[in-house]
Structure 1
Amino acid sequence: MKKFAKMSLVAAVAVAGLTTTSSAKALEEAIKNVDVSGTVVYRYDDQNYDHTGDVDNNKYKIGLTLKSKVNDDVTAVTRFIVGSQDDAGFVSLDHADSTKGDAQADVSLSNVYFSYTGIANTTINFGKQGLTTPWTVAIDADSNEQTGTGILALTNVGPVTLAGAYFNQTNLNTSSDVKIDGSKALGVTTKLVDGNNHVLDGDKNIITVGAMGNIGPVALDAWYLDMQDSFDSYTLGAAAKFDLDSVKLSMGIRHTELDIDDKLAGKELAKEDNSLTKVDLGAKMGIFGANVTYGWTDSEGGLAAVDNDSKAALQGWNLKLNGVADATFLKTSIDAQVLPSLNLALNYNVLDKDKINGVRGEDLTDKEYFLQASYKMSKNFGGYIRFGEVELENDGAKDNDGTVGRLQVQYSF
Structure 2
Amino acid sequence: MKLVKLSLVAALTAGAFSVASATPVEEAIKDIDVSGVLRYRYEGANFDNDFPGQRSNLMTSRQQHLYKAQFNFSAAIADNFKTFVQFDYGAKDGGYGPNVIQNDKNTLAVRQLYLTYTDENIATSVIAGKQQLNTIWTDNGIDGLVGTGVKVVNNSIDGLTLAAFGVDSFMTSEQSSKSADGTYYVGDMGPIMSLITLDGFPGNLYGGAAIGSYEALGGDFNPQLWLAYWDNVGFFYALDMAYSTTIFDGVNWTLEGAYLGNAMDNDYDKYGIDNGNFFGLRGSIEVAGWDASLGGLYYGDKDRATVTTIEDQGNIGSLLAGQEIFYSEGSNLNGDLGRNLFGYITAGYTFDEIVRVGADLVYGGTKTDTHSGGKKFEAVARVDYKYSPKLDFSAFYSYLNVDRDHDADGDHNAIRLQALYKF
Specify if TM > 0.5.
Answer: yes
Structure 1 segment 14-413 matched on structure 2, within 5 A: 18-21=18-21, 24-51=22-49, 55-83=62-90, 91-98=91-98, 100=100, 103-104=103-104, 105-118=106-119, 120-138=122-140, 140-141=141-142, 144-159=143-158, 160-172=160-172, 175=175, 189-190=190-191, 192-194=193-195, 199-201=198-200, 204-215=203-214, 216=216, 217-244=220-247, 245-263=249-267, 265-267=268-270, 269=272, 272-299=274-301, 302-312=306-316, 314=320, 316-320=322-326, 321=331, 322=333, 323-324=335-336, 325-355=338-368, 357-358=369-370, 360-361=372-373, 364-394=374-404, 397-413=407-423
Residue 302 to residue 100, structure 1, CA distance change in 2 (3 Å): closer
Q: One-letter code of the match for 1:286?
A: A
- Structure 2: give runs of 5+ residues left out of the alignment: 1-15, 52-59, 178-187
CA distance in 2, matches of 1:204, 1:212: 26
Deviates more, 1:248-257 or 1:92-101: 92-101
- Unaligned 5+ segments in structure 1 are 1-13, 84-90, 178-186
Distance change >3 Å, CA 392–CA 96, structure 1 → 2: farther
Equivalent position SS for 1:29:
helix
RMSD: 2.8
8 A contact 1:170–1:204 mirrored in 2 = no
1:68 Cα deviation from its structure 2 partner: 1.2
- TM-score, length-scaled by structure 2: 0.80
One-letter amino acid matched to 2:40:
Y
Distance 2:192 2:271 in 1: 21
Q: Deviations over 1:26-60 (max 9, x none)?
A: 12211222112211111111111102686221111
Q: Give the aligned residue type for 1:80.
A: F
Is the contact made by 2:256 and 2:282 (CA closer than 8 Å) also made in structure 1? yes
* 3-state secondary structure, aligned to 1:192: helix
SS of equivalent residue, structure 1 residue 360: coil
Report if aligned partners of 2:92, 2:101 keep a CA contact under 8 Å in 1. Answer: no
Q: Structure 1 residues 350 and 92 mapped into 2: Cα distance closer, same or farther (>3 Å)?
A: farther
| Mapped contact 2:272–2:305 kept (Cα < 8 A) | no
Q: Is the 8 A contact 1:294 1:330 kept in 2?
A: yes
Alpha-carbon shift at residue 100 of structure 1 (Å):
3.4
| Matches of 1:135 and 1:190, distance apart in 2 | 16
TM-score normalised over the length of structure 1: 0.81
Equivalenced residues, count: 370
Query: What's the offset of the Cα at 1:358?
Result: 4.0
Question: Aligned partner of 1:166: which letter?
Answer: G
Distance 2:271 2:65 in 1: 42
| Structure 2 CA distance for partners of 1:31 and 1:331, relative to 1, 3 Å | farther
Residue 284 to residue 204, structure 1, CA distance change in 2 (3 Å): same
Determine the C-alpha separation between the residues in 2 that align with 1:260 and 1:378.
46
User: Within 1, Cα distance between the matches of 2:231 and 2:351?
Assistant: 50
What's the CA shift for 1:375? 1.4
Q: Using the TM superposition, give the Cα deviation of residue 258 of structure 1 relative to its aligned residue in structure 2, in angstroms.
A: 1.5
Change (3 A) 1:328 1:69: same
Give 1:283 shift: 0.7
What secondary structure, in the 3-state scheme, does the structure 1 residue paired with 2:134 have?
A: coil
- For residues 161-184 of structure 1, give each alpha carbon's deviation from its aligned partner in whole angstroms, at most 9, with x where no partner exists: 22111111112466389xxxxxxx
Distance 1:268 1:375, change over 3 A: closer
- Percent identity over the alignment is 19
Q: Higher relative CO (CA 8 A, sep ≥ 6), structure 1 or 2?
A: 2
